[in-house]
Amino acid sequence: DDTEVVYELRSNESKDQTASGLNFVTMRDRVEIYRELQSIIQSVYSPEAFMNRVMDTTRRIKIRNKHIPNAWEFKRMLRGFTTIARRMLSDRRTRWLYVKNFFRAAMMGPTKFEYAHTIMGSYLHFDGQTRKIVEALEVSIDFAENHATYPRSVAEIPQQSKLIKLPIA
């Protein structure tokens, strides 16, 4: 008897809410939703899109640096600068975007250059996070397609199960 079926969603797919936040039966096919989310994340955090946003923000921001770093701060900033430059230049996907933005930001002055360089460096974190989310979404897609015991959408729920009488208090 199908009316006794209980659809309880517990995600064994991932602990990251970005990748497995569908803890309910969706109106649309959950695989379609996961694929759309994956596509959005990949396009928003692609190297080109990210670096273009960095330069757009750098151009628009009104910033003045009144702080002159002492020797220790300058040394620390230089070490961070070289780390970011080395890692960005070693990746084929970011190399030319970094070089292009490096010169464009340098033409805007030292304060905007420092700002742009710092934000470009944050891509190193976002790229790793993006890869983890995309991989988790791949696992979620595989799980939903091949292993899930719950319906992929409301359309897959048997008609009898949809008509459940709720207790009146």
Structural domain contains residue 167: no
Question: 106: domain range?
Answer: 2-162
Structural domain contains residue 169: no
pLDDT in tens, 106-162: 999 999 999 999 999 999 999 999 999 999 889 888 988 888 777 777 777 766 555
Q: What is the pTM of this model?
A: 0.72
Supply 102's token pair. 């490096």
Structural domain contains residue 99: yes
Q: Which residues contact 142 (CB under 8 A, 6 or more apart)?
A: none
pLDDT in tens, 6-55: 555 555 555 555 655 677 777 888 889 899 999 999 999 999 999 999 99
Structural domain contains residue 28: yes
**Number of structural domains found in the chain:** 1
Structural domain contains residue 36: yes
Structural domain contains residue 116: yes
Structural domain contains residue 133: yes
Cite the DSSP H helix spans in 23-158. Answer: 30-44, 47-60, 71-90, 95-106, 110-146
pLDDT in tens, 56-86: 999 999 988 888 889 999 999 999 999 999 9
